[in-house]
Amino acid sequence: MPENAEKIRPKAAFFSFTCCEGCQLAVLSCEDELPDILRALNIVYFREAMTEKRVEPSQREDYDIAFVEGSVTTQKEITKLKHIRKKAKTVIALGACSSTGGLNCLKNRFPMDFVKKTVYGKYAEKYKKTFETLPVRPIDSIIKVDCYLHGCPISKTEFLSAFTALLMGKTPITQNYPVCVDCKMAGNICVFEKGMTCLGPVTRAGCDAVCVTYGCICWGCRGLVDDPNVSAHKETLKRYGLTAESMLRSFDLYGNCSLRKSGSLGVRPAKK
Amino acid sequence: MKKNLHIKIHEITRVEGHGDIVIDIRKGRIKELRLDIIESPRFFEVMLVGRKYDEAQHIMSRICGICAVSHTSASLKAIEAAMGMTISRQSLLLRKLAFCGESIQSHILHLFFLVFPDLLGAGSIAPLLTAEPELARTGLELKRLANEICAVVGGRHIHPISLFPGGVAHTPEEADLKRLKKALLASFAKLDYTLGFLSNIPVPQFAKPRETISLKARGEYPLHDGKPYSDKEGAIEPEEYSRKVKEYCVNHSTAKHARTKSGTFMVGALARLNNNFKLLSPRAKAAAKKAGLTLPLENPFMNNMAQLIECFHLTDEAAGHIDSLIENGLKSEPVKKPRNGFKGGRGIGIVEAPRGTLYHDYTIDKNGIVKKADCVIPTAQNLRSIEDDLKAFVPTLLDRPREEIRRGVETLVRAYDPCISCSTHIMDVRFV
């Protein structure tokens, strides 16, 4: 390794907000590639895996790439996130929770006081500060995001290809066509033919339609494609005798945050 | 001995989730000793309310990336119990196989990524890749195999797909199962190597009698099925779990704490070994003998060894499930529907997640909509025990240098393999 290798290796940090940490785990699950990843990056912060990388972002100068998983649900997280943006050249949203708010957004169907009281009961009032919570938001409602790695969890292949692109100084490409394309390539029978409903026609691809391959439907975890043909999807549902209610329910399993944003079944504006 | 000591460890590293440790010793006495859980709560109970029954396992899997199969399994058992659904033998075997894969994956991740760096004085697995390449590679290979088991059955190990109410929605290929079986048998050599390494590392002498709770079953080491059992109080009926294992809140933790009649108890691999040692596979028993284990285990640091012993058992069990699946002949089966005329009901699903007994409890209405959910998470059950152990352990360290105390404290917390993300996703308060 050349002497100035430390300077060449991009400084990277992994941050985790409100989530299950499954997307960081997906990174750690690249067992074959992990030694190379660790060689290629100068990891400056990765609390879940590394003690020597425990220094808080506020005490760090800067980093080239910040991977951020999880959505934002507390004031503290907002402050920390803004700080990360200031210090990082590139911010990558890792997974559904940070990209679109993910499943966490199901919480937003209810007023926060009700949410706290249901879970913590009398303690919600007693230990007010401990159990503080805000409606769930994706990280791009607070800061600018340079690249989104969608999915719940992220796709390993997509992570590795984005990672390679970043190392080469290129902007990672994420798919902007529906899951149906992936699903055809996987050779699956369309779930509509099996009498089920599916969000594949409007959901962003890049997952190899793994949920359909393994006997289920597309739940829409990767968010809507930039220009989904939403009304055509409604038509399809109608043709197969499905109700608007069940459709809406499927739509808001992952789409609650973005749906709220535009107030209808609309589309979140594509990020520049 | 130091008279005054103040340590605050902000965001313990190499644990899943965010936690701080606060230690305040004045005049040689513990004034304050807390494990602060600062993870943002996620409110899963509320998230589940109003959702359809067949979305529940999908939502609840997202409680944790590491033990997603356990949450999915507990969730499925609760749904199926509430709605009177039965599953085929093949489905049960597949679910149990995925369960073994996840438990091995979780234990290996904990041991190699989180614990071994402590034992070797490293900060993470990264320096071990060059300093101890064989050991690090062994860990990565064991972990990859475990992930593959989950992937062959469930589509992926983080948030499995095919595990669905009424069965398993995808049937794996026989060839894939045979490949896994071969790899499982080959992995015993790697486990032996790991055992050789871990048994040579001295364990801090810190035995303290404790109540241990785990599932207990007849004829099999209880992981996916069984009834809760306390080595002090005996069997716990599923319906009375919320009275026997009482949850409560403390101001320094967004995760709840729990206690039994006698107070503090421990769950996890150590508890399972204490309660079910006889049911381990012969290979696992031999490994325990080699490691010089004596029951009951009372030293929380031995939880690491207990996890490794379980890996031997889980590998045997996974291979056995594959044999049974192939013997029965793999067939594509549709998942079963809830029984006709379902009028609504409550169901409790209990499994042994890698970190201990996990309870999911749902009430579902006649339309199949979840009305109420409750979940008791292993780490929440262990938090009180971790604090109690710290209170007993820290005074034995006071004459050591500060950095060593800090390290000792973190090592003890890590031995419990706490999953803080999980434990802050707890639901439904029951008042004590």
Per-residue pLDDT at A264: 31
Residue B341 structure tokens: 């005329």
What's the rounded Cα separation, in Å, for the pair A170 and A204?
21
Interface of A with B in 3-32 (CB under 8 A): 16-26, 28-29, 31-32
Interface contact flag, B113 A49, Cβ < 8 Å: yes
DSSP assignment string, B313-350? HHHHHHHHHHHHHHHH-----PPPPPPTT---EEEEEE
**A190-195 average pLDDT score:** 86
Beta strands A42-46 and A11-16 are: parallel
Provide mean pLDDT across the span B18-30.
Answer: 81
What is the C-alpha separation between A184 and B424, in angstroms, rounded? 40
Residues A89-110 pLDDT 10s:
999 999 999 999 999 988 888 8
The minimum CA-CA distance between B216 and chain A, rounded to whole Å, is: 29
- Interval B365-404: pLDDT, tens: 999 999 999 999 998 899 999 999 999 998 888 888 888 8
The token pair at B233 is 């109080």
In chain A, CATH 3.40.50.700 covers 11-167
Using a CB-CB cut-off of 8 Å, the residues of chain B touching A22 are 62, 64-66, 68, 158-159
Q: State the Cα–Cα distance between residues A65 and A10, nearest whole angstrom.
A: 7
Determine, for residues A127 and B249 on separate chains, whether the beta-carbon distance falls below 8 Å: yes
In angstroms, what separates the C-alpha of B187 from chain A's closest C-alpha?
16
pLDDT band for position B254 (cuts 50, 70, 90): confident
Instruction: Tell me which of B37, B47, B140 to substitute to probe the interface with A (most A C-beta atoms closer than 10 Å).
Output: B47
**Per-residue confidence (pLDDT) for residue B429, from 0 to 100:** 22
Residue ranges of E strands in chain A? 11-16, 42-46, 63-69, 88-94, 147-149
What pLDDT, in 10s, does the model give residues B268-291?
999 999 999 999 999 999 999 999
B-chain residue closest to A51, CA distance: B123
Give the Å distances, CA to CA, from B63 to A153, B44, B57, B58, B376: 12, 8, 10, 10, 12
Which residue shows structure tokens 């640091």? Answer: B301
Query: How high is the pLDDT of residue B27?
Result: 81
**Distance from C-alpha of B393 to C-alpha of B208, rounded to nearest angstrom:** 10
Is B424's pLDDT higher than 60? no
- Distance of alpha carbon B42 from alpha carbon B254, whole angstroms: 10
What is the predicted pLDDT for the residue at A61? 65
Task: Give the whole-number percent of chain A exceeding pLDDT 90.
Answer: 33
Closest residue in B to A118 (Cα) is: B428
| Domain A11-167 CATH superfamily | NADH:ubiquinone oxidoreductase-like, 20kDa subunit (3.40.50.700)
Give bridge partners of residue B8 from the DSSP assignment. B22
Contact between A153 and B158 using a beta-carbon 8 Å cutoff: yes
Smallest Cβ–Cβ distance between B143 and the set A22, A31, A103 belongs to A31
Interface of A with B in 60-99 (CB under 8 A): 73-74, 77
* Interface with B, mutate which of A27, A119, A189 (most B CBs under 10 A): A119
- Distance of residue A132 Cα from the nearest chain B Cα, in angstroms: 8
**Partner-chain residue, chosen from A34, A73, A109, that has the shortest CB–CB distance to B40:** A73
Which residue of chain A comes nearest to B153, CA vs CA?
A214
Of the candidates B129, B159, B428, the beta carbon closest to that of A119 is on B428
Higher pLDDT: A27 or A47? It is A27
Mean pLDDT over residues B146-165, rounded? 96
Kindly tell me if the per-residue pLDDT of A267 is higher than 50: no
User: What's the average model confidence in pLDDT over A28-45?
Assistant: 84
Best B9, B12, B35, B42 member to test A by mutation, with max A CBs in 10 Å, is: B42
Q: Would you list the domain boundaries of chain B?
A: 5-37, 44-423
Give the Å distances, CA to CA, from B77 to B103, B107, B121: 18, 23, 42
Q: Which of A214, A242, A253 to mutate to test the interface with B (most CBs of B within 10 A)?
A: A214
* Out of A121-135, B104-118, B367-381, B383-397, least confident range: A121-135
Residue A7 has pLDDT above 70, yes or no: no
DSSP code of residue B212: E
Q: Which of A1, A21, A34, A74 to mutate to test the interface with B (most CBs of B within 10 A)?
A: A21
Do the chains contact at B58 and A47, CB–CB below 8 Å? no
Q: Are the C-beta atoms of B346 and B238 separated by less than 8 Å?
A: no
Angstrom distances, CA of residue A15 to CA of A100, B159, B431: 17, 20, 35
Checking if the pLDDT of B21 tops 50, the result is: yes
pLDDT in tens, B26-76: 887 888 888 887 777 788 888 999 999 999 999 999 998 889 999 999 999
- The band of B432, judged by pLDDT with boundaries at 50, 70 and 90, is very low
Q: Do A77 and B68 touch (CB under 8 A)?
A: no
pLDDT band at A265 (very low <50, low <70, confident <90, very high): very low
Average pLDDT over residues A196-205: 84
Task: Check B65 against A24: CB less than 8 A apart.
Answer: yes
DSSP per-residue codes, A22-62: HHHHHHHT-TTTHHHHHHH-EEEEETTT-STT---GGGS--
Q: Give the gap in angstroms from C-alpha B45 to the nearest C-alpha of chain A.
A: 7
Pairing of strands A63-69, A11-16: parallel
What is the nearest CA distance from B376 to chain A, expressed in angstroms? 12
CB-CB under 8 Å, A253 with B59: yes
Fold of B44-423: Cytochrome-c3 Hydrogenase; chain B (1.10.645)
| Mean pLDDT value across chain B | 90
Bridge partners (DSSP) listed for residue B228: B215
Residue A243 sits at the chain B interface (C-beta within 8 Å): no
C-beta atoms of B62 and A28 within 8 A? no
Q: Is the pLDDT of residue B427 over 50?
A: no
The CA distance from A129 to B41, in Å, is 12
Chain A CB contacts of B162 below 8 Å = 214-216
Q: What angle do CA B56, B97, B188 make, to 5 degrees?
A: 140
- The band of A249, judged by pLDDT with boundaries at 50, 70 and 90, is low
* Angstroms from A84 CA to nearest CA on chain B: 17
Whether the per-residue pLDDT at A41 is higher than 90: the answer is no
User: Residue A21 and residue B421: Cβ atoms within 8 Å?
Assistant: yes
As a whole-number percent, the residues of chain A with pLDDT over 70 amount to 77
Q: In which region does residue A250 sit, left (phi positive, over 0), alpha (psi from -120 to 50) or beta (all else)? A: alpha
**Does the beta-carbon distance from A34 to B140 stay under 8 Å?**
yes
Q: What is the mean pLDDT of residues A234-240?
A: 68
Looking from the CA of A26 toward its CB, the CA atoms found within 13 Å total: 28
CA distance A216 to chain B (A): 7
